[in-house]
């Protein structure tokens, strides 16, 4: 009878060190799987946000064009949209850099230089722009 009381007292005390280690290992595996699944999606989300920002800026430029009859010159840039109260503030790209505005002929070009903040690059470092991309036919 005494042995049963001692066993009940020991079994209700809590978890053993091995049980705690197993739980921590399982939580670590779950956290690792989540990180592996989420990190690539963050770069995709930043890329999508940059594309959306560029489209919004492009819409603002079209409104500017409707009011003024031309697009702002490269020197004035996107500041003209803020001056005309089309945009509240100059937007930053998802990586914290300014969007680059140029006017090629009478067409506005808005560019984000991607994660690295420099022209060119591949993958997440690739430039994102509203410029129409021309692709050559495969040979």
pLDDT reported for residue 12: 60
CA atoms of 118 and 101, how far apart (whole Å): 14
Question: Which single residue is written with the structure tokens 């042995």?
Answer: 3
pLDDT reported for residue 132: 67
pLDDT reported for residue 99: 92
Residue 72 has pLDDT above 80, yes or no: yes
Per-residue DSSP letters for 19-60?
HHHHHHHHHHHHHHHHHHHHHHHHHHHHHHHHHHHHHHHHHH
Q: Determine whether 57 is exposed, middle or buried from the number of CB atoms within 10 Å of its CB (0-12, 13-18, 19+).
A: buried
Domains and CATH numbers, the chain: 13-129 (3.30.700.10)
pTM higher than 0.85? no
CA atoms of 25 and 98, how far apart (whole Å): 43
Q: What is the pLDDT of residues 11-42, one digit of tens each?
A: 566 778 899 999 999 999 999 988 888 888 88
Count how many Cα atoms sit within 13 Å of the Cα of residue 33 in the half-sphere of its side chain.
Answer: 6
pLDDT reported for residue 64: 92
Q: What is the pLDDT of residues 85-123, one digit of tens each?
A: 998 988 899 999 999 999 888 889 999 988 888 888 887
């Amino acid at each position: 009878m005494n042995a049963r009381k001692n066993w009940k007292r020991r079994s209700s005390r809590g978890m053993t060190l091995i049980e705690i280690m197993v739980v921590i290992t399982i939580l670590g595996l779950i956290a690792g799987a989540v990180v592996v699944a989420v990190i690539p999606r963050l770069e995709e989300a930043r890329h999508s946000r940059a594309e959306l920002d560029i489209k919004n800026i492009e819409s603002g430029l079209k409104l500017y064009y409707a009011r003024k009859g031309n697009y702002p010159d490269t020197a004035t840039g996107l500041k003209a949209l803020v001056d005309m109260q089309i945009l509240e503030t100059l937007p930053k790209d998802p990586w914290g850099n300014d969007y680059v505005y140029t006017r090629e002929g009478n067409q506005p070009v808005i560019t984000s230089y991607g994660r690295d903040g420099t022209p060119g690059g591949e993958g997440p470092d690739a430039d994102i722009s509203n410029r129409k991309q021309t692709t050559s036919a495969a040979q």
